[in-house]
């Protein structure tokens, strides 16, 4: 089978590709593990050179909002797609048109290209807890909560869930939407996601650099470690379609913690390392976006499908140290 990961040159895309290449196969429509003989990472930009562990992956650069590029990509009936490409939250607030072009038009092109194959391929679309917001949102959000996003990013993700549901209902694709909490600890530099601080608060101190924290210590964040998220994306792809039901979106399990608890976990695990300082640097724009997000998530459907939850903050910090520092 061929596997396409959009946004594949990004952090989660690379991690997912590495995990799938390490397994060598993926269970799809046949219900059996199929060998992945072609793996394409599609992205708008290449980023850092691919590591040796991704030597068998092919990087294709292109614009997801250009239909012809997507049609050329989706060219085998035995294909599976992980659709991670997206303009992120603060980026989408800055450039509304770009967000609609990439997040909405891009998703439509991909769904149409998959539909044209006629083989009802599996497609895993990454949605986000940013689909939730006041006034419908309570303290805890789950698979039955109304989606009233308060960002353009969340709006395009909620639309993506609706499209994936209807394309699946019509039998055009076997779609699944992964409603992701904030994924940590992302390596590298801060990005344009309003949630960027949730990685930075671990990463910068561990790197011996100062972290400028834009939110207050009591800010609650539903988090997932990246290893857990990648494992869950694969589990969601492999789940039997009937087990997911008519609403193809699945809220991923999260560890719901305050920023203060995140910092406590960091200090427990840091051991003898000298941590960079954490400085309070309130940013009203970021706080306004984050205040519109859910504080906790329920994940009954995810658990029924065998998706995992991180046991604690400490294990999330340890992963990052193992993978990127030691």
H or E segment and range at residue 58:
strand 57-61
Evaluate whether 228 touches 13 at the Cβ level (below 8 Å).
Answer: no
Give me the 162-191 binding string for its own copies, x by CB under 8 A, dash otherwise: xx-xx--xx---------------------
- Is 320 assigned a catalytic role? no
| Between 51 and 245, CB nearer to its own copies | 245
Stretch 73-102 residues interacting with its own copies (CB under 8 A) = 96, 100
* Contacting range for its own copies; rule: CB under 8 A; set: 176-184, 243-251, 265-273, 303-311: 243-251
- Token readout for 314 is 């400490």
Rounded to a whole number of angstroms, the minimum distance from the CB of residue 104 to its own copies is 9
Among the options 153, 167, 226, 320, which is catalytic? Answer: 153
How many residues lie near its own copies (CB under 8 A)? 28
Shortest distance, CB of residue 67 to its own copies, whole angstroms?
Answer: 14
**Angle, nearest 10°, between helix axes 313-320 and 259-270?**
60
Number of alpha carbons in the 13 Å side-chain half-sphere of residue 183: 25
- Which residue, 112 or 312, is less far from its own copies as judged by CB? 112
- What is the distance between the alpha carbons of residues 88 and 194, in angstroms, rounded to a whole number? 8
CA gap 115, 126 in Å, rounded: 18
CB of 188 to its own copies, least distance (A): 30
Nearer to its own copies, 118 or 134 (CB): 134
Q: Which two tokens stand for residue 9?
A: 């040159």
Query: At its nearest, how many Å lie between its own copies and the CB of residue 63?
Result: 19
Between 157 and 235, name the residue whose CB sits nearer to its own copies: 157
Residues 132, 150: Cα–Cα separation, whole Å: 7
Distance in angstroms (rounded) separating the CA atoms of residues 200 and 263: 11
Strands (DSSP E) contained in 62-121 are 79-83
Residue 27 or 152: the one with the smaller Cβ distance to its own copies is 152
Q: Which strands sit side by side in the sheet containing 57-61, from one edge to the other?
A: 57-61, 38-43, 2-6, 79-83, 122-128, 174-180, 249-251
Binding mask 128-167 for its own copies (x = CB under 8 A): -----xxxx------xxxxxxxx-x--x--xx--xx-xx-
As measured in angstroms, the least distance from the Cβ of 147 to its own copies is: 7
Question: Cβ 133 to its own copies, closest distance in Å?
Answer: 8
Q: Which is nearer to its own copies, 147 or 174 (CB)?
A: 147
- Long-range contacts: 11-15, Cβ < 8 Å, 24+? 11/186, 11/187, 11/188, 11/226, 12/84, 12/126, 12/183, 12/226, 12/229, 12/230, 12/233, 13/41, 13/43, 13/82, 13/84, 14/41, 14/50, 14/51, 14/54, 15/226, 15/227, 15/230
Q: Please, are residues 306 and 314 in contact by the beta-carbon 8 Å criterion?
A: no
With binding defined as CB under 8 A, does residue 246 bind its own copies? yes
* Positions marked catalytic: 153
The residues that touch its own copies, with contacts defined as CB under 8 A, are 96, 100, 108, 133-136, 143-150, 152, 155, 158-159, 162-163, 165-166, 169-170, 245-247
């Amino acid at each position: 089978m061929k596997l396409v990961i959009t946004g594949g040159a990004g952090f989660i895309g690379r991690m997912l590709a590495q995990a799938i290449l390490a397994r060598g196969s993926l269970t799809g429509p046949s219900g059996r593990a199929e060998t992945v003989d072609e793996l394409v990472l599609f992205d708008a930009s290449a980023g850092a050179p691919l590591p040796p562990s991704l030597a068998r992956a092919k990087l294709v650069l292109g614009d997801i909002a250009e239909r012809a590029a997507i049609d050329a990509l989706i060219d085998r009936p035995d294909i599976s797609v992980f659709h991670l490409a997206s303009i992120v939250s603060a980026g989408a607030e800055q450039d509304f048109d770009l967000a609609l072009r990439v997040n909405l038009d891009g998703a439509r092109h991909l769904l149409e290209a998959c539909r044209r194959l006629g083989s009802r391929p599996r497609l895993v679309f990454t949605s986000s807890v940013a689909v939730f917001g006041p006034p419908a949102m309570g303290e805890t959000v789950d698979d039955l909560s109304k989606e009233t996003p308060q960002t353009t990013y969340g709006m395009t993700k909620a639309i993506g869930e609706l499209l994936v549901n209807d394309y699946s209902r019509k039998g055009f694709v076997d779609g699944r939407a992964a409603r992701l909490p904030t994924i940590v600890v992302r390596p590298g530099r801060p990005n344009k996601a309003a949630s960027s601080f949730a990685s930075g608060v671990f990463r910068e101190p561990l790197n011996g650099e100062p972290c400028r924290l834009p939110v207050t210590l009591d800010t609650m964040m539903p988090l997932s470690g990246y290893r857990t998220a990648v494992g869950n994306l694969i589990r969601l792809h492999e789940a039997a379609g009937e087990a997911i039901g008519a609403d193809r979106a699945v809220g991923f399990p999260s560890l719901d913690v305050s920023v203060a608890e995140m910092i406590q976990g960091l200090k427990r695990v840091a051991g003898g390392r000298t941590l960079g300082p954490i400085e309070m640097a309130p940013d009203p724009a970021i706080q306004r976006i984050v205040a519109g997000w859910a504080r906790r998530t329920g994940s009954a459907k995810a658990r029924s499908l065998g998706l995992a939850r991180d046991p604690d903050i400490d294990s999330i910090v340890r992963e990052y140290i193992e993978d990127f520092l030691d």
